[in-house]
């Protein structure tokens, strides 16, 4: 499993434990480039999650999509292996 795959697996576990509705959009030719790894709804809040490992940077397309989600009133976050506690606290703010 890649380092980013490990981050995604941990995020899935956290989302499942909290009963968050989510899906992972398929990309690769048919989807729109830059869409976040997870699209979620939690306690009535639309949120998107982009997972990154190490010092991986967002692409310009990923930044554009996260910005558009914020502008539309949704929540969009980047989660790294070093920010899992922050991510859990973020989810806790929507109880």
pLDDT at residue 31, rounded to an integer: 72
Write out the H or E segment, with its range, that includes residue 41: strand 38-42
User: Please, are residues 25 and 39 in contact by the beta-carbon 8 Å criterion?
Assistant: yes
- Give residue 42's domain range: 3-92
**Beta bridge partner(s), residue 49:** 38, 77
CATH number for position 37: 3.40.1350.10
User: Whole-prediction pTM value?
Assistant: 0.92
Q: Kindly report, residue by residue over 48-66, the tens digit of the pLDDT.
A: 999 999 988 999 999 999 9
Give percent above pLDDT 90 in the chain.
84
- Token pair belonging to 66: 């996260």
* Count of domains observed in the chain: 1
Q: How far is CA 78 from CA 24, 29, 30, 71, 95, in A?
A: 15, 23, 23, 16, 20
């Amino acid at each position: 499993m890649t380092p980013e795959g490990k981050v995604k697996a941990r995020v899935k576990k956290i989302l499942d434990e909290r009963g968050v509705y989510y899906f992972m959009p398929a990309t690769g030719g048919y989807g729109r480039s830059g869409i976040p790894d997870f699209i979620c709804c939690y306690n009535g809040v639309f949120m998107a999650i982009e997972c990154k490992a190490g010092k991986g940077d967002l692409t310009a397309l990923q930044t554009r999509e996260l910005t558009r989600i914020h502008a539309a009133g949704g929540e969009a976050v980047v989660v790294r292996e070093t920010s899992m506690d922050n991510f859990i606290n973020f989810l806790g703010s929507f109880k």
